[in-house]
Amino acid sequence: MNAPRIQPSSRLNGVKYEIRGPLARRASELEKAGYEIIKLNIGNPGAFGFRAPETMRLAMIENLREADAYCYQKGIFPAREAVVMQQQTRGVFDVTADDVFMGNGVSELILFCLSALLEAGDEVLIPSPDYPLWTAATVLHSGKAVHYPCRPENGFVPDPAEIQTRITPRTRAIVVINPNNPTGAMYPAKTLEAIARLAEEHNLVVFSDEIYDLITFDDREHVPLATLVKKTLCATFGGLSKVYRACGFRVGWVSFSGEKSGAQDYLQALELLASLRLCSNVPGQWAVQTALGGRQSIHDLTRPGGRLWKTRQAILDAVADSPFLTVQEPKGAMYAFVGVKKDMLPNFDDQKFALDLLERKHVLLAPGTSFNVPYNNHFRVTLLPDWETMREVFSRIHELLQEQYNQGKQATPSAPVPSK
């Protein structure tokens, strides 16, 4: 007798997170069959040999005696105060420890913040391309994700005028991801200023995802959005996972600034949700003060000659040598969003290409459509492998694209044959 089927909740309809979806599952199957897969689908520094700074590990060890019990639902005071001090050094002076929530990574806090805010049908403005958790979390909480375009031809920087056309009476919040995942774009101060004014004019909550705030290249400066948002609520997200290479610590935070007097009910609802999960990971929180107050070793990796810089350069060089590829130079974060020229490969499909690349060349990457874009000729790679590995990856990518081109050429013999 067949067992009755257990149906998942309809609330999950439309919730997607393809970065860890079918392609990743297929990669695991290939690994079990004995194949070595180069995984470029996730920004997971520890998987590529990066280590969290030794001082952070020591801070956790030295405070293990203080980590047996549950802590206050918002987090331990030294960690929250360290976030306050960091914000003050950046010009954000209206944050206190009571305005900071520690979470099990930024992902948990995104879910909390949207859960406490949204009614069914409420709209959230989210960039396209986006980090797909923002769209998934909005849909999961019965909201509507309204994507504002960050077009490749504009360097993936949004146009505030286009954002304005998407604001309706149901719009509750706007998400800004800067430095950007997946594109590596960094937004000019003028663009951020215009977004801040739009949010204030329409009383939108600003969710500023700044998890990559110190991962910048070529001496570019990151502009904290909280320095520009004064007349509406601004939530700034950060954490240990990327800048400090400590994904497994599961420590993130959100700090609230701007106009908080009208947001007390919302902040109390957020505290209720934090209380329901009792507290976030306590040992990891003891690393926050040391991380934010100590030497910022990420700069050794992003300056010319550093590991992330060299891998980024390997990608730029490979794309420059390819007749098939294009890319906007990543200015920050740890990704490149690579485009495939449609005039060379008019039938290119990112999902099919990603599967072919995995099956035949044993490279796992994230198709561009995973990031909620309306076009299908991009893919995302992380900058985390060393530059030699990345050069090999793009050699395999070129081989597959050349094969696809040659197949198309057979149908149109007059097409020229490009060289690498």
Domain-wise residue ranges, the chain = 10-50+300-409, 54-293
CB 362 within 8 A of CB 41: no
State how beta strands 100-103 and 252-258 pair. antiparallel
Residue that has been written with the tokens 């504009």 in this structure: 154
Q: Which residues contact 74 (CB under 8 A, 6 or more apart)?
A: 80, 98, 100, 101, 102, 271, 274
CB 208 within 8 A of CB 178: yes
Reported in sequence order, the residue ranges of 104-150 that DSSP labels E, i.e. its strands, are 123-128, 144-149
Rounded-to-integer distance, Cα 393 and Cα 396, Å: 5
Taking the model in full, what pTM does it have?
A: 0.94
CATH no., domain 54-293: 3.40.640.10
Residue that has been written with the tokens 């077009």 in this structure: 151
My answer on whether omega of the bond before 53 falls inside 30° of 0, hence cis, is: no
How is residue 100 written in tokens? 């900071």
CATH no., domain 10-50+300-409: 3.90.1150.10
CB 180 within 8 A of CB 151: no
Question: Cα 317 from chain centroid?
Answer: 24
Residues in the chain, pLDDT under 50:
420
CB 104 within 8 A of CB 252: yes
Reported in sequence order, the residue ranges of 1-111 that DSSP labels E, i.e. its strands, are 38-39, 100-103
- Residue 156 has what pLDDT? 97
Provide the greatest CA pair distance for the chain.
74
CB 110 within 8 A of CB 143: no
Burial of 27 (0-12, 13-18, 19+ CB in 10 A): buried
How is residue 36 written in tokens? 């070595």
Relative orientation angle of helices 105-117 and 264-276, to the nearest 10 degrees:
130
Domains 10-50+300-409 and 54-293 share a fold: no
Question: Cα 330 from chain centroid?
Answer: 14
| Residues pairing with 173 in the sheet | 124, 205
- Residue 48 has what pLDDT? 94
| Residues pairing with 38 in the sheet | 363
Q: Which residues contact 219 (CB under 8 A, 6 or more apart)?
A: none
Q: Which residues of 356-393 are buried (b: 16+ CB within 10 A; e: fewer)?
A: ebbeebbbbbbbbbbbbbeebbbbbbbbbbebeebeeb
Supply the DSSP symbol for 332.
Answer: B
Q: Indicate the SS3 state at residue 252.
A: strand
User: What one-letter code names the amino acid at 388?
Assistant: E
Q: Indicate the SS3 state at residue 10.
A: helix
**What are the φ and ψ backbone dihedral angles of 357, each rounded to 5 degrees?**
-65, -40
Of all helices (H) and strands (E), which one includes residue 116? helix 105-117
State how beta strands 366-367 and 378-382 pair. antiparallel
The answer to whether the Cα torsion of 26, 28, 31, 32 is positive or negative is negative
CB 103 within 8 A of CB 280: yes
Query: What is the DSSP code string of 47-70?
Result: GGT----HHHHHHHHHTGGGSSS-
Rounded-to-integer distance, Cα 417 and Cα 15, Å: 42
Question: Cα 116 from chain centroid?
Answer: 22
User: In which region does residue 13 sit, left (phi positive, over 0), alpha (psi from -120 to 50) or beta (all else)?
Assistant: beta
Supply the DSSP symbol for 328.
Answer: P
CB 222 within 8 A of CB 244: no
Q: Indicate the SS3 state at residue 337.
A: strand
